[in-house]
């Protein structure tokens, strides 16, 4: 079979062991996205699903989420406060235990012990909570090391903690920039060298598991071990890694990690976030006081992190729950956690190993098609892939840098064709096929439209171009994608 044709993509879908999981999701149609007026009913099927390659930003809604939310609302309506103590149907734990159950179900996704995971707050709030606990500057070790192009929240959070401790960020914040100014990739050896250069004065490192802009998957295990060998604690922002790559946070000895659940975890915009604290840091030992002056790691605390057996005694002596749960602040929204649980039900249909296996194949297929294309090979550099080409160094996302001036024209065509990707101005498109709901045929269809759009934008002819023609003659069957 011709490996460059759509039939090959369809054959890959046929063989895909995860193919049925797509049915677990609501895929918006072209009409959903663009409205009826944008559809030419004589030409195309308005119920055609869009091609959604934006799970790195906001994952799609699982079919079962609405039902679970409805069940939760029924539980609240019919049980009132007693809903805290009774299981409502087979899927909804008592409100009081919903955080605990969600943490248990999340643990295998991040490779953690259940006691090392808490579902709470937002990602940014959890960065602050972890910095409050893990950044304990001394006269000698006061620096925090992050990447120069860190997500703004991470940068702001680190900067604010430095100031909070009376440090000057210009001195105390070490920014790791790519060694090669023409590449946005952070080379591991370069990170090691930076750690060495600042080892004596650095208290903490915060890095991304998968970098949001480039899609680079950093060597979490190796970098963690290196930081520890220099006596430095290290935390990971896993916003773009969780549910995307298979993680082994406990075995990798990661000190702490945080993530949001609305990207590859499909729990809805702004849903409750996640936190990992290695069991080494979660001990509570009031007898020996060996884990800090109070017998546990210092933290910002609230009643929901306090020992469950005394939680309702309303005393004033804070004794934390051992593990990540002891970092919780207040009573979490059971409604919000219901959407996380619904998504975790879908993850329980497979494993992170199987998800990652498909992801490597799916994004590898996308990379292969783009690398073979004329636009990529053209001496004009119509676009280049800035994500590492080595599958071990990337997750689902490929970031493609367009020649200056092309981005808006290309995005317009993609939007008209109901292809959802996201952009990072001035000229990067992030394309993330999610292994739970995307197909090889969608990758193939995307590439046809993308290639034609780049070619036409480059030639300055995108205005008025017929979108069917843009898809090219190979794109037959486009309207029948399921």
Ligand X SMILES: Cc1ncc(COP(=O)(O)O)c(C=O)c1O
Identify whether the C-beta of residue 315 lies closer than 8 Å to the C-beta of residue 294. no
CA–CA separation, 271 and 22 (whole Å): 21
Supply the minimum distance, in Å, between the C-beta of residue 209 and ligand X.
9
Least Cβ distance, residue 57 to ligand X (angstroms): 7
**Cα 88 from Cα 481, distance rounded (Å):** 39
Q: In this chain, which stretch among 117-125, 215-223, 309-317, 450-458 interacts with ligand X, using CB under 6 A?
A: 117-125
Candidate segments 39-47, 121-129, 132-140, 383-391, binder of ligand X by CB under 6 A: 121-129
83 binds ligand X (CB under 6 A): no
Among 122, 221, 384, 393, binds ligand X (CB under 6 A): 122
Q: Which residues make Cβ contacts (< 8 Å) with residue 250, sequence separation at least 6?
A: 111, 112, 113, 116, 278, 279
Q: How far is the CB of 164 from ligand X (least distance, A)?
A: 19
Compute the least distance from the CB of residue 357 to ligand X, in Å: 24
Contact stretch for ligand X (CB under 6 A) within 44-52, 85-93, 161-169, 236-244? 236-244
Q: Residue with the closest Cβ to ligand X?
A: 124
Residue whose C-alpha is closest to residue 184's, from 147, 153, 221: 147
- Is 95 flagged in the annotation as binding? no
Q: Is 37 helix (H, G, I), strand (E, B) or coil?
A: helix
Q: What's the min distance (Å) between Cβ of 258 and ligand X?
A: 8
Residue 276's SS3 state is: strand
Rounded Cα gap, residues 341 and 430, in angstroms: 28
Q: How many CB atoms lie within 10 A of CB 409?
A: 20
Dihedral pair phi/psi, residue 51, rounded to 5°: -100, 110
Residues 232/238/240/244 CA torsion (nearest 10 deg): 110
In the bound state with ligand X, the residue whose beta carbon lies nearer, of 286 and 300, is: 300
Cite the beta strand spans of 93-237 per DSSP E.
117-119, 143-147, 173-176, 202-208, 233-237
Interacting span for ligand X (CB under 6 A) from 130-138, 235-243, 449-457, 463-471: 235-243
Within 434-473, which residues bind ligand X (CB under 6 A)?
Answer: none
237 contributes a contact to ligand X by CB under 6 A: yes
Q: Binders of ligand X among 134-173, rule CB under 6 A? A: 151, 153-154
Residues in the chain: 482
Count Cα atoms within 13 angstroms, Cβ side, for 426: 4
CA dist., res. 411 & res. 402, Å (int): 11
Q: Tell me: is residue 152 an annotated ligand-binding position.
A: yes
Residue 94 or 243 having the CB closest to ligand X: 243
Task: Determine how β-strand 202-208 pairs with β-strand 233-237.
Answer: parallel
Provide DSSP, 374-428.
HHHHSTT--EEE-S-SSGGGB-S-EEEEEPTT-HHHHHHHHHHTTEE-EEETTTE
How many alpha carbons fall within 13 Å on the CB side of residue 215? 31
In angstroms, what is the minimal distance from the CB of 117 to ligand X? 17
Kindly report the number of other CB atoms within 10 A of residue 388's CB atom: 19
Nearer to ligand X, 100 or 237 (CB): 237
**Does residue 339 touch ligand X according to CB under 6 A?**
no
> Is residue 121 part of the contact set for ligand X (CB under 6 A)?
no
245 counts as binding ligand X under rule CB under 6 A: no
Question: Measured from the CB of residue 240, what is the shortest distance to ligand X in angstroms?
Answer: 6
Q: Which is nearer to ligand X, 122 or 378 (CB)?
A: 122
Among 24-32, 94-102, 237-245, 324-332, which window interacts with ligand X (CB under 6 A)?
A: 237-245
Please check if 151 is assigned to a binding site: yes
User: Could you give the angle at the alpha carbon of 87 between the alpha carbons of 82 and 89, nearest 5°?
Assistant: 125
Question: Is 331 flagged in the annotation as binding?
Answer: yes
Under the binding rule (CB under 6 A), the answer on residue 18 touching ligand X is no
Judged by CB, which is closer to ligand X: 6, or 149? 149
Q: Which of 393, 389, 353 is nearest to 219 (CA)?
A: 393
Count of residues interacting with ligand X (CB under 6 A): 12
Q: What letters, b where the CB count within 10 A reaches 16 and e where it falls short, cover 328-361?
A: bbeebebebbbbbbbbbebbeebebeebbbbbbb
Kindly tell me which residue out of 117, 119, 123, 441 binds ligand X, with binding defined by CB under 6 A.
123
Touching ligand X, residues 195-234 (CB under 6 A): 208, 212
Does 260 contact ligand X by CB under 6 A?
yes
- The smaller minimum CB distance to ligand X, of residues 274 and 282, is found at 274
**Closest separation in Å from C-beta 123 to ligand X:** 4
Residue where the block lists tokens 């997500």: 151
| Minimum distance, C-beta of residue 425 to ligand X, in the bound complex (Å) | 16
Identify which of residues 212 and 217 has a Cβ nearer to ligand X in the complex.
212
Q: What residue numbers does the annotated binding site cover?
A: 123-124, 151-154, 237, 240, 262, 303, 331
Residue ranges binding ligand X (CB under 6 A):
122-124, 151, 153-154, 208, 212, 237, 239-240, 260
Q: What residue numbers does the annotated binding site for pyridoxal 5'-phosphate cover?
A: 123-124, 151-154, 237, 240, 262, 303, 331
């Amino acid at each position: 079979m011709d490996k460059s044709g759509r039939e090959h993509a369809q054959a890959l879908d046929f063989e895909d062991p995860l193919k049925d999981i797509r049915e677990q999701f609501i895929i918006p149609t072209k009409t959903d996205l663009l409205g009826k007026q944008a559809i030419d009913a004589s030409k195309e099927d308005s119920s055609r699903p869009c091609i959604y390659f934006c799970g790195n930003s906001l994952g799609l809604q699982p079919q079962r989420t609405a039902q679970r939310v409805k069940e939760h609302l029924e539980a609240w309506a019919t049980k009132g406060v007693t809903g805290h103590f009774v299981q409502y149907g087979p899927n909804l734990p008592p409100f009081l235990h919903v955080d605990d159950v969600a943490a248990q179900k999340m643990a295998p996704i991040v490779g953690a012990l259940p006691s090392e995971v808490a579902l709470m707050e937002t990602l940014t709030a959890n960065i602050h909570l972890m910095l409050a606990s893990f950044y304990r500057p001394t006269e000698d070790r006061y620096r925090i090391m992050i990447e120069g192009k860190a997500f703004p929240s991470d940068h702001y959070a680190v900067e604010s903690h430095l100031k909070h401790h009376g440090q000057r960020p210009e001195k105390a914040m070490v920014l790791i920039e790519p060694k090669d100014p023409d590449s946005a990739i952070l080379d591991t050896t370069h990170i090691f060298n930076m750690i060495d250069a600042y080892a004596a004065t650095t208290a903490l490192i915060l890095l991304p598991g998968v970098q949001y802009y480039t899609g680079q998957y950093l060597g979490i295990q190796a970098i963690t071990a290196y930081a520890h060998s220099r006596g430095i604690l290290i935390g990971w922002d896993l916003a773009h890694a969780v549910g995307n790559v298979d993680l082994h946070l406990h075995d990798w000895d990661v000190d702490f990690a945080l993530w949001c659940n609305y990207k590859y975890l499909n729990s809805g915009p702004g849903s409750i976030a996640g936190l990992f604290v290695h069991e080494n840091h979660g001990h509570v030992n009031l007898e020996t006081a060996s884990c800090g002056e109070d017998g546990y790691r210092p933290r910002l605390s609230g009643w929901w992190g306090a020992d469950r057996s005394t939680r309702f005694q309303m005393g004033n002596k804070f004794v934390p729950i051992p593990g990540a749960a002891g970092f919780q602040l207040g009573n979490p929204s059971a409604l919000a956690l219901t959407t996380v649980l619904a998504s975790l039900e879908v993850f329980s249909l497979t494993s992170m190993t199987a998800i990652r296996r498909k992801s490597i194949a799916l994004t590898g297929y996308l990379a292969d098609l783009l690398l073979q294309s004329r636009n990529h090979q053209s001496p004009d550099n119509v676009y280049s892939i800035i994500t590492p080409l080595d599958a071990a160094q990337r997750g689902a996302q490929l970031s493609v840098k367009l020649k200056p001036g092309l981005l808006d024209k290309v995005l317009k065509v993609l939007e008209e064709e109901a292809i959802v990707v996201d952009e990072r101005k001035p000229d990067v498109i992030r394309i993330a096929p999610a292994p739970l709901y995307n197909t090889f045929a969608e990758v193939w269809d995307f590439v046809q439209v993308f290639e034609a759009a780049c070619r036409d934008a480059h030639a300055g002819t995108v205005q008025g171009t017929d979108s069917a023609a843009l898809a090219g003659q190979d794109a037959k069957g486009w309207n029948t994608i399921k």
